[in-house]
Chains A and B, each alone.
Chain A
C-alpha cells in the first residue's frame, strides 16, 4: 500500500481492495514507528482520523461521489488551522493554541473525503529554509538524517518522501514548498498568488504567502491543488474564479518554449545541482519543447527586496501576539507593557525576533525610503521583467536551491548565507507566479536535487503538463528514501 500514490490509493479504496480505516491505521502506525527519527510530525490526530475514516468509508459505501482523493490520509503544515487541533506554527508563542475554526483548505480536504491525520513540523512561523528554528526541534532529512529537510515546509516534504503520509500541504512565502521538495526529493506546487484561500493560514507575509500541495509526483499535486484552489469569500485576495482542473491532456511539448536563465548557473551554485538541472532542460528539449537561454534581469536585487518586504509584513503581522488573546503569556508581568514585551520576548525564537526587528527597521522613519520603498520599486521591476519574459517563453526552468541538503546546524548563525539560499525562489513570490518543483537527480552524496518550472500567472495547467511529461520520461520521483536513513 505504501507504494501507491495518493490517487492510486483512493482508487484502491473505491475498488474495495483496502478500507479507509486500514489505510489510515497503517499510516498512523508508520508515523508512530518512524517519526522519532525524522521529527516531521508535531501532532498525530489518531482518534479524530480513525473516526473520520469510518465516516468517509460509510459515504463511499453509500455510493456518494467523492473526489479522486477520497479516503486518502493527508497532513498539513503546523501554520494551517485545524479546528480543535493545536496549531502552534512550531512556536512557543502559540503553544497550546487550538483554533475554533478550520482553514478553508482544510474544509475543502474534508469535503473531498480526505482524512486529516495530523500537523507537520516547520520553521517557527515559517521563517527559515531548514526547518531547524521551530520549538519542536529540527526535521531530519529522510535521505540522511544528519541533514536538514529544507524549509520552511520541511515536515511536509520529509513526511511525504519517507512514506509517512501520501500527500501534504505546505505554504510558500519565498520558496518554503519548493526548497524542501528539492532537498527531500518530493514534488510540490507554489500556486499563483490568489488561487488558494489563505483563510486560516497563520500569516507571515501576507502579500507573498500561498498554501500549496506536496506529493510524490505531479499527478498527486495536481489532484490536491484541484481540491484546495478556488474562490473563497473569506479571503478577498483569493481572486481566482473557479478551482483548477487538470485533465489528462494538459498542454505539453508541441509549440511550447522554455527559457533557461543562464546567469542562474554561474558563481554560487554547486556543480552537481547545475548538471542535474541542465540535464532536465535537455530532457525537455528531447521531448519536443523549444529550449533557449536568456539573461535574468534583477538577480542581485531579488533576495534583498524579498527580505525587506517579507520582514516588514512579518513585523506587522506578528504584532498580534500580545500575550492576551491566545498563546504564551509571561506569568509575572504586572503592567500591560510588560505583558506585551515579556510574553513576546520569551515566546519568540531568535530568527523570528531577527525578522521582526529587521521589519521594524526598514519601516522606521529615516530608513523607509532607502529600504522599504526601494524594495517595492524593485518588486515592480521584477514583476515587469517576468511579464516581458512570458512574452517570449511559456515557462522558465531553474534550480530551486544552489545546493543539496546541508548538515543540521551547518548554517545556523550565518543568516546572510542562509538567505542567499533563497536566490532562485523568492522572485517567484514577489511576482505572485506559480512554480512546480520536482526531483531531477542525485548529487555525489546521494542526496536529491530538484528543479522548478516557473509559469505566468494562473498557468498551472501548463506547468503540470510539463511536469507530467518529465516524470513520464524519468524515474527520480519514484525513488524512495530509506526511512530513518543512516547518516552517510
Chain B
C-alpha cells in the first residue's frame, strides 16, 4: 500500500498530530509496509461472519445505580499544565 503525502496529511489530521519531515518520511514508509502486511486479511473468507468487538458475550457486570463521592477539584487541577482555582485553562475558541 502506498501512503502518499495527501493520505498522510489526512491521517495526521485524524490523529491530531503534526509530524516533522523526518517522521513523515519514516511513517509513510512504515505505514505502507504494515498495511500491506495487514492486507493478508483480505484473503480470509468471512462472508456472513459476525463481528466480535469484545472477548465474551457477557460484557458487563453493572453496579447499583447509586450516587457516590467524587474527587476533590483542587486535587484534580494539580495535574493540569494551566489552571485557575476552578478550571482548566484553554485558549479562547470564540471571540
A binding-site residues for B, Cβ under 8 Å: 96-98, 100-101, 193-194, 207, 231, 233, 236-239, 300-301, 304-305, 307-308, 315, 319, 323-329, 333-336, 338-342, 344-345, 348, 350, 353-354, 356-362, 364, 370-371, 373-381, 383, 415-416, 419, 430-433, 457
The residues of A that contact B67 with a CB separation of less than 8 Å are none
B40 touches A304 (CB 8 A): yes
Verify A301–B40 contact, CB threshold 8 A.
yes
Beyond A324-B90, A361-B14, 12 additional contacts (C-beta under 8 Å) are A96-B79, A100-B75, A100-B76, A236-B61, A304-B37, A319-B16, A325-B88, A336-B91, A361-B31, A380-B52, A383-B52, A457-B55
Taking CB atoms, residues of chain B closer than 8 Å to A339 are 90-91
How many Å lie between the Cα of A300 and that of B76 in the bound state? 46
Q: State whether the Cβ of B58 lies closer than 8 Å to any Cβ in chain A.
A: yes
| CA distance in complex: A432, B31 (Å) | 27
Q: Is the CB of A344 within 8 A of B33?
A: no
Contact flags B44-78 to A (C-beta < 8 A → 1, else 0): 10100111111110111111000000011001101
Q: How far is the CB of B49 from chain A (nearest CB, A)?
A: 4
Residue of B nearest to A372 (CB): B51
State the majority secondary structure of interface residues on B.
loop
The CA-CA distance from A350 to B19 in the complex, in Å, is 10
Point out which of B10, B15, B59 has the most chain A C-beta atoms below 10 A from its C-beta: B15
- In the complex, the chain B residue whose C-beta lies closest to that of A207 is B54
Q: Which 6 A-B pairs have the closest CB atoms?
A: A432-B55, A376-B51, A329-B81, A233-B63, A326-B79, A360-B14
Chain B interface residues toward A at CB < 8 A? 10-12, 14-19, 23, 26-27, 30-31, 33-35, 37-44, 46, 49-56, 58-63, 71-72, 75-76, 78-82, 88-91, 93
> CB-nearest residue of chain B relative to A382?
B52
Contact B18–A341 (Cβ < 8 Å): yes
Q: Which of B42, B51, B82 contacts A370 (CB 8 A)?
A: B42
Interface pair B53/A207, CB less than 8 Å apart: yes
Q: 10 interchain pairs (CB within 8 A)? A: A100-B75, A194-B56, A237-B60, A324-B88, A326-B80, A353-B19, A357-B15, A364-B14, A371-B35, A376-B51
Contact B11 A357 (CB under 8 A): yes
B-side contacts of A193, CB under 8 Å: 55-56
Contact (Cβ within 8 A) B31 A357: yes
A228 to B59, CA, bound (A): 20
Q: Is the CB of B46 within 8 A of A381?
A: yes
Q: How far is the CB of B87 from chain A (nearest CB, A)?
A: 10
The complex places the Cα of A29 from the Cα of B19 at a distance, in Å, of 43
Please, how many angstroms separate the alpha-carbon atoms of A237 and B59 in the complex? 6
Shortest distance between the CB of A456 and any CB in chain B (Å): 12
List the A side residues contacting B60 at CB < 8 Å: 236-237, 239
Bound: A354/B56 CA distance, A = 29
Q: Closest A-chain residue to B10, C-beta based?
A: A364
Q: Which residue of A lies closest to B74 (CB)?
A: A100
Q: Once bound together, how far apart are the Cα atoms of A163 and B1, in whole Å?
A: 47
Give every chain B residue within 8 A of A380 (Cβ-Cβ).
Answer: 49-52
Chain B residue, CB-CB nearest to A96: B79
Say whether A327 contacts B49, CB under 8 Å: no
CB–CB B18/A328 < 8 A: no
Answer whether A207 and B11 are a contact pair too, CB < 8 Å, given A344-B16, A371-B38: no
Question: Considering only CB atoms, which chain A residue lies closest to B81 in the complex?
Answer: A329
Contacts A341-B18, A375-B41, A380-B50; A353 near B56 (Cβ below 8 A): no
The answer to whether B88 and A358 touch across the interface, beta carbons within 8 angstroms, is: no
Complex CA distance for A304 and B35, rounded to whole angstroms? 9
Contact A231 B55 (CB under 8 A): no
Q: Across the interface, do B46 and A378 meet the contact criterion of CB distance under 8 Å?
A: yes
Whether A304 touches B38, Cβ cut-off 8 Å, given contacts A353-B19, A356-B15, A378-B44, is yes
Cβ of A325 and Cβ of B80 under 8 Å apart? Answer: yes
Knowing A236-B61, A336-B90, the reply to whether A376 touches B76 (Cβ < 8 A) is no
CA distance A330 to B39 in the complex (A): 37
**A379 in contact with B52 (CB, 8 Å):** yes
B30, A415: Cβ atoms closer than 8 Å: yes
Nearest residue, chain B, Cβ from A379: B52
Q: Please state if B81 and A323 are interface contacts (CB–CB under 8 Å).
A: yes
Residue of B nearest to A346 (CB): B18
- Given A370-B42, A378-B44, A98–B79 Cβ distance below 8 Å? yes
**How far is it, in angstroms, between the C-alpha of A98 and the C-alpha of B93 when the chains are bound?**
29
Please name all residues of chain A whose beta carbon is closer than 8 Å to the beta carbon of B19 when the two chains form the complex: 345, 353
